[in-house]
Amino acid sequence: MSRFLPLFAFGLIFVPNHAFAFEELQDCTTCPLMVKIEGGSFPRAGNINDSPVRVNVDYDYALSRCEVTVGEFAEFANATGLKSKGCQLFRTTGDIDYPEGGWNDPGFRQRDTRPVVCVSWNDANAYAEWLSERTGQAYRLPSESEWEFAARAGAGHESKWYVRGNLKTGEAKCATCFGSDVMGREDELTSANVGGKHRNPFGLADMLGNVSEWTLDCGDGDLADSPVDGSARLDDSCGKRITRGGTFHSDWAGLSRFRVSRDEGRGRNDLGFRVLRELAASGIDPALERYASSGFESACR
């Protein structure tokens, strides 16, 4: 049963450090906490020096407020018998293969409240399909355009977006986001608990930094080749998928521009995902009208 928790009876959740109101829903007590994203447009460009292309996302959707956590993914893995399949580990001296690794052993100490990593695109997609079957709702990975629209949260074609992602010191988990460079310190180069740094104006946490995230789009084309209507660029046979958002070892100035094509069948310990839930075409989804007085059981608080 879907659950929508308002802070007031009007059905809006107000966050003290933002002058914004967020509509949130959760389709089950262990499902990801979702935030409603109202449609709009944004200027897509890889850099401030590039000519932007207007992308129109003219529909509403819900996106998980945080990256899918280890605890949320574990429920899926246990229900389906998913086995770990190895992982590529980031190291300051160069990436290494870890055949014994997987979502439950990413090469560093993991917690249920951290983003799940060492999952392939195929695993992330399977989780979304399982969540759809479990809830009766349409879950999937976001397209690159849907992801960027949500990450920008109203940011335009401006240098402060491309350089700092409109973030202040300490508002993201990255190698230089706290004012000093932690590269080379392996004890500091791990993910952090979800939702603990900052929420953007759309109410989403960790869109930049912590771990990069899978999208639906095939990863063999340039940014200029992507659709401008919010849909994903798909081929009959992808092989690679676009990842966005930057990681715990990225430089601050590279987070908003992070766009890397990865093999869809291979996981990394700096790569996770979040899910999108399609909303009713009428714009009025029954889940957003339901009220519950108890708290979320999600780690994304």
The predicted-structure confidence for 164-176, as pLDDT tens digits, reads as follows 999 999 999 998 8
Distance (Å, whole) CA 221 – CA 121: 17
Least confident of 120-134, 145-159, 172-186: 172-186
Confidence check: pLDDT of 254 > 70: yes
Confidence check: pLDDT of 10 > 50: no
The reported pLDDT for the residue numbered 83 is 87
Confidence check: pLDDT of 218 > 50: yes
In a 13 Å sphere around the CA of 230, the CA atoms on its Cβ side amount to 18
Mean pLDDT value across the chain: 86
Residue 262, classed as helix, strand or coil, is: strand
With CA atoms as reference, report the closest residue to 126 among 267, 268, 297, 269: 267
pTM of the model: 0.89
The reported pLDDT for the residue numbered 292 is 38
Distance (Å, whole) CA 207 – CA 167: 11
Summarised one tens digit per residue, pLDDT across range 80-102 is 999 888 999 998 889 999 999 99
The reported pLDDT for the residue numbered 151 is 98
Give me the mean pLDDT over the 170-196 stretch: 78
With CA atoms as reference, report the closest residue to 246 among 154, 165, 158: 165
Confidence check: pLDDT of 247 > 90: yes
Confidence check: pLDDT of 228 > 80: yes
With CA atoms as reference, report the closest residue to 178 among 142, 146, 209: 209
